Amino acid sequence: MQSAASASDRRRSGARLWASPRSRGLAALALVVALAPLGLVNDYLYDIAILVGLNAIVCVGLNLLIGYAGQISLGHAGFFGLGAYGSALLCAHYGVPPLAALALATAAVSLLAFAVGRPILRLKGHYLAMATLGMGVIVSIVLANEDRVTGGPDGMPVPPLTVFGHALQGEQAWYWLVGACLIVVVWLALNLIDSPAGRALRALHGSEVAAEVVGIDSARRKLEVFVLSAVFAALAGGLTAFYSGFVTPAKASFLHSVELVTMVVFGGMASTFGAVVGAAVLTILPQALTVVKEYEMVVLGAVMMATMIFFPRGAVPTIEAWLRRRRP
């Protein structure tokens, strides 16, 4: 009887788990990734889908930092660029296998984020924004000026990514790799959000003083999420370098950092799936607006302004709230 009762409890627990919005959202994301190739009729569309996935990986991590922990960062493209250049340099100059180079570069970026995050995360508001901006600018300048190592403004070639001795070639193969990485990253983010650490991050966003009163180590939690978001950015940067076969300092530019933050805000802060949607829309939209040629940036700016006016919380949270109001 006890075993039957425990089995019934496990079934009810599993049913509740899959009934949660986050589980349904993850299943929907996996379904979209699985079915999207039906509409990708050429390599150009596959290329856009891959760029969407790579940007979404960065935005999911950045959303944990900005949306949940309430810590602004205007230098995350620096971690993206370091992941790209670290992977490229280890392969091209030291003969490290690509997968090992990607792992080592990501680990090195995590250590750098840990060292940098300890002092700058003591700052708040616009002081923190300026500090992260300065960090990103330093990385961009170093990558552009150390031409003997990085190739300077012209960039450097990157060897192909090899998996078990076979080079990963073709847009379709890269699509499935990036899609799998995106699903894993979203799953990790959702699990973090539902954990005690995630609840601590939301408490920090509400009030650091109140969070510390109930025993939350705010400095430790902020540093942990800062390092995790840097790891996601470095991973995406390394994959981007191997996919494109070339890397330039533009990957670490301030403009790229602003683009990443804009994707998070557009999709909806404190919404993991909003970060994915924001990355998708703002990656696809500039490609679609090429038909208007010189007015491309004007139209893009107008679309973003309208979104912020009519969807102040971001696209996904606003749509979710509207659907809840209409539900009987």
CB 225 within 8 A of CB 232: no
Helix 296-310 crosses helix 272-288 at what angle (to 10 degrees)? 150
With bands split at pLDDT 50, 70 and 90, how would you rate the model's confidence at 17?
A: very low
> What residue type is assigned to position 317 of the chain?
P
CA 218 from centre of chain = 23
Q: Where are the alpha helices (DSSP H) in 98-195?
A: 98-120, 126-145, 147-150, 171-194
Between 67-76, 131-140, 200-209, the lowest mean confidence (pLDDT) is in: 200-209
pLDDT, position 114: 96
Dihedrals phi, psi of 156, to nearest 5 degrees = -150, 150
Which of 209, 185, 189, 187 has its CA nearest to residue 197?
189
Mean pLDDT of 129-148: 91
Mean pLDDT of 93-114: 94
The C-alpha atoms of residue 32 and residue 114 are separated, in whole angstroms, by 35
The residue written with tokens 């080592």 in the block is: 104
pLDDT digits 0-9 by tens, 267-280: 988 899 999 999 99
Question: Of how many residues is the chain composed?
Answer: 328
Average pLDDT, the chain: 87
The C-alpha atoms of residue 275 and residue 229 are separated, in whole angstroms, by 13
CA 304 from centre of chain = 20
pLDDT, position 328: 65
pLDDT, position 88: 94
Q: Tell me how far CA of residue 18 lies from CA of 15, 178, 269, in angstroms.
A: 5, 25, 24
With bands split at pLDDT 50, 70 and 90, how would you rate the model's confidence at 110?
A: very high
Which of 117, 116, 91, 93 has its CA nearest to residue 104?
91
Between 1-10, 87-96, 122-131, the lowest mean confidence (pLDDT) is in: 1-10
Hey, what's the torsion of the CAs at 98, 104, 105, 106, to 10 degrees?
110
pTM metric for this prediction? 0.90
pLDDT of residue 153 exceeding 50: yes
With bands split at pLDDT 50, 70 and 90, how would you rate the model's confidence at 13?
A: very low
With bands split at pLDDT 50, 70 and 90, how would you rate the model's confidence at 292?
A: confident
Strand runs labelled E in the chain: 156-157, 162-163, 166-167, 246-247
CB 219 within 8 A of CB 54: no
Residue 272 in tokens: 């993991």
Which residue would you say has higher pLDDT here, 3 or 32? 32
